[in-house]
């Protein structure tokens, strides 16, 4: 049903995602309504499809952002700390910040500096976005997301927006116990979304969800 969810406006897009049961909770609906995708997607922002950002990166389709938020929702409470790996244009970082507001924080990490520059500029397109940057609710850093961002750890939730070649131990190490990781993982010629829960005792439970197609989580270009 994802291909039927496109709309002419941000509100229409979100309404269609709800109608097609790709958004299931009011919290995710409200958070996505507060972030105008046109500020973050360079073309056809309200199509439910991925869009190229340049630098061999993409912004994922809105239904994938909705799925990530729904999957992590139990760990996205006011005051939660979140890491967004492969934050790209900053769209999902902003949605996640709304879900952990007013006193939560989200760190977006990308290894491509021009994308972080783009994300900061995109946040500046709205008053709410500017306030989130100024208050420290959102921070964009440049680094290898496969190693997480130890300076901000531990995190209640980690989202990964590119396909990992393996399960990166650094990411689960930086989760709180309990905490949750949402990550696409490449397996042979396919990719699947995994949700990995870190339990109170530090043990990990991996759940394989559904097949996807993401750009790979790679080294920064030289």
What does the pLDDT look like over 173-196, one tens digit per residue?
A: 999 999 999 998 888 788 888 899
Contact 76, 157 (CB under 8 A): yes
The band of 219, judged by pLDDT with boundaries at 50, 70 and 90, is: low
110: helix, coil or strand? strand
Domain 64-212: give its CATH superfamily: Vaccinia Virus protein VP39 (3.40.50.150)
Contact assessment for residue 4 and residue 20, using Cβ atoms and an 8 Å cutoff: yes
Tell me the CB-side half-sphere exposure of residue 132, using CA atoms within 13 A: 34
175 by DSSP, 3-state: which? strand
The whole-chain average pLDDT of the chain stands at 92
**pLDDT the model gives residue 2:** 55
Alpha-carbon gap, residue 161 to 110, rounded angstroms = 10
Q: Kindly list the catalytic residues.
A: 60
Element (H, E) at 14: helix 10-19
pLDDT digits (tens, 9 = 90+) for 41-89: 988 999 999 999 988 888 999 999 999 999 999 999 999 999 999 999 9
Strand partners, 107: 83, 139
Q: Using CA atoms, how far apart are residues 92 and 72, in angstroms rounded to an integer?
A: 12
* Amino acid 189: pLDDT: 81
Per-residue pLDDT tens over the stretch 103-135: 999 999 999 999 999 999 999 999 999 999 999
How would residue 215 be classed by pLDDT, with cut points 50, 70 and 90? Answer: low
Q: Coil, strand, or helix at residue 27?
A: helix
* Contact criterion met (CB below 8 Å) for 180 and 195: yes
Which residue, among 93, 91, 104, has the nearest Cα to 62 in the 3D structure? 91
8-25 pLDDT, tens digit each: 999 999 999 999 999 999
Express each pLDDT in 139-177 by its tens digit: 999 999 989 999 999 999 999 987 777 778 999 999 999
**pTM of the full structure:** 0.93
């Amino acid at each position: 049903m994802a291909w039927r969810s496109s709309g002419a406006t941000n509100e229409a897009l979100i309404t269609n995602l709800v109608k097609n049961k790709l958004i299931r909770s009011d919290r995710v609906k409200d958070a996505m309504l507060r972030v105008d995708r046109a500020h973050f997607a360079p073309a056809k922002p309200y199509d439910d499809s991925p869009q190229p950002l340049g630098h061999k990166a993409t912004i994922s389709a809105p239904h994938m952002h909705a799925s990530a938020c729904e999957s992590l929702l139990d760990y996205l409470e006011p005051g939660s700390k979140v890491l967004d790996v492969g934050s790209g244009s900053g769209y999902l970082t902003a949605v996640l910040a709304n879900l952990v507001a007013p006193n939560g924080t989200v760190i977006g990490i990308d290894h491509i500096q021009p994308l972080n520059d783009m994300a900061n500029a995109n946040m500046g397109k709205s008053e709410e976005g500017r306030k989130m940057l100024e208050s420290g609710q959102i921070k964009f850093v440049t680094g290898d997301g496969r190693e997480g961002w130890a300076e901000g750890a531990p995190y209640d939730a980690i989202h990964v927006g590119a396909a990992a070649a393996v399960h990166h131990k650094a990411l689960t190490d930086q989760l709180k116990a309990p905490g949750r990781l949402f990550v696409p993982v490449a397996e042979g010629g396919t990719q699947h979304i995994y949700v990995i829960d870190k339990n109170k005792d530090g043990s990990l439970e991996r759940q394989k969800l559904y097949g996807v197609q993401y750009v790979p989580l790679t080294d920064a270009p030289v």
